Structure 1
Amino acid sequence: MTKVYIAIIGVGGVGKEFLKQLSNYITSNRSAPHILIPIVVSRSSAAVVSQDYSPIFLPSALDNLARSTTNPLSFPDEALSYFRGAPGEVILVDNTSDEKLAAHYPALLKNGVHIATPNKKGFSSDITLWDSIFASARGPSNLGGGYVFHEATVGAGLPVLSTLRELIETGDKVKKIEGIFSGTMSFLFNTFAPVGSGSSARFSEVVVKARDLGYTEPDPRDDLNGLDVARKLTILARLSGLNVRTPTSFPIQTLIPKPLESAASADEFLQGLGDYDTAMDELKRDAEAIGKTIRYVGKLDVESGHVEVGLHTFNTSSPIAGLKGSDNIISFYTERYGDNALIVQGAG
């Protein structure tokens, strides 16, 4: 591929960072053997679309998008018609968390459109969509399909999925995977129950702090319900060979008190959360009494097929307990590595 045409959907936090990195890459790699040509920059309400497939100037793309009255491409028909007209290969970069867009991945891949995405929905929803995506993607039996890359669906920028794939493809046998898969949950418990220096902060206070710092979703319940971690475990389980049908087909411990599940707003939820601090304080004290600490983790046992998400206690000397800030840590226990896990750790 000497020219690669790029359609970018989604310009939120991830999308804006992607635009910046892509712009810097294009500027600093003008002599590269391949030329990257942005042809679409789109949000849910408007789009900038290059009708003649000439490159969109990325440094001004967001300003142009803010003024645009052009509707986004509709999927799959209008988008496929446009992509087919490109004078080269097209990569769709989906920076959204849109389940409806993810449902169109198979049609796009069948038509040779490549996909790169951090959108977990296509890979952690009902397994029929997972099967359809990979049946449509390029492979030994389908040389005309598009490539699909979703490394950032687990661990963001960390090489989690590529590490798992290489272990499997080089003949190792994965036995267990466990870790902290959420930067939000990492920050909450590293702050609420830090190792080595006690914290007097109440759990509700830490949640408010995390929300104010931008570590949580606008409504922290979207993090505290555990579903985000469950989606990541679903993807890891499927890559490990387990037939996990949905991300709710295994135990998920929610940290949302039952009476607050129906709170009318995030502010109402946070105002009421302090009434339930006692239960979380007791969990922390019970762990400390036996020289341990609590962390919110995902666990996957490939041999037994057991998958779960929730609170567990860990020795204070463990790598999971010693995590700092909002880092992620994923431990792979395999036949090759024995009792000493292969660990991927860093900013999530």
Structure 2
Amino acid sequence: MLTCPVCGDAVAAEDAFCEHCGHALRGEGAPGAGGVAAAPTVPDTAGSQPPCARCGARVSGGACTECGLRRRTGDHSELRLGTGAAGVSDRGLRHERNEDAMALRAVDLPGAGDRAAGSATAAVVCDGVSSSPRPDSAAAAAVEAGATALAASLESGQGTAEALSAALRRAAVTVAALAEAPGQAPACTFVGAAVPASGGPLGVAWVGDSRAYWVSEGRPAAPSALLTRDDSWSEAMVAMHVLSPEEAAVSPHAHTLTAWLGADYSGAAGRVAAFDPGGAGRLLLCSDGLWNHLPEPAELAGLVRGAGADPLAAARACVRFALERGGRDNVTAVVIDVPGPRTGEGVR
């Protein structure tokens, strides 16, 4: 059986392009031919489109004019919140659908005493558990419920930890309600954050193996770091000193989840943590479709910083990196600017 060299989908000998991902299979754009052919011309009825998720070239009619990558409605989405936060989510090259979801909300914080009202960004990324039924529905429901609850709690005056806990609870209840019968429980992971526009301490919350990374801009800010700890078999084995991190990472059970959102897991209270960056930088929320390729904080930080000052460009660079390395999973990256702290302001 012939397969596409990019996505691995079955192709016929006479095919010029892979019907799954749009990659050129023969002619100038075929592998080893010394060039990249454009995809067949399709009228662009959608107006301005984001650049190709894989190579960054122009997209027309849902197909890249350079590498031929095709994207259907729902395969690729982008969000921008003002100039300081943005996200990109893509199906990848192997999955039939995008089972990730993301949300960004602008939050107006109430004043307290002589403290002036401020603002914050609420962000959530969820990754559907592919082995569960309707994982895309679980992720979408959790993102909407979690982001809405987080924003509402912050606007009502709740502290960061309480607001993030409320977001986790609301997301968990919402996903659990999707179960149609015992053994038919949609499930997803969750990572959320509350980031004050004035700088200073921020908060993250999570269940599963979607992650939050701090990307430092240098001193006096704290070094780049992973802010979450996976709810996974490999993490548990390392914590119990049964396996080394290297041994756990190569196990076939490495990515087996030990906690998630869904009616078939009742212990998903999740975890909440505060982090004081001490200076300017960025917060990156992502699904494992990104960090599987680049798990170390310093390496991910280099990728984000190398994309320039625009958070959307940084999120696009993260997704492109994953696709260039095979795109085996759905991939989502949300990037939020974190300014240096200003005295007397911020999320409580």
Q: What TM-score bracket applies, with the shorter chain setting the length?
A: under 0.3
Normalised by the length of structure 2, the TM-score is: 0.26
Kindly name which structure, 1 or 2, has the bigger radius of gyration based on alpha carbons. 1
Normalised by the length of structure 1, the TM-score is: 0.26
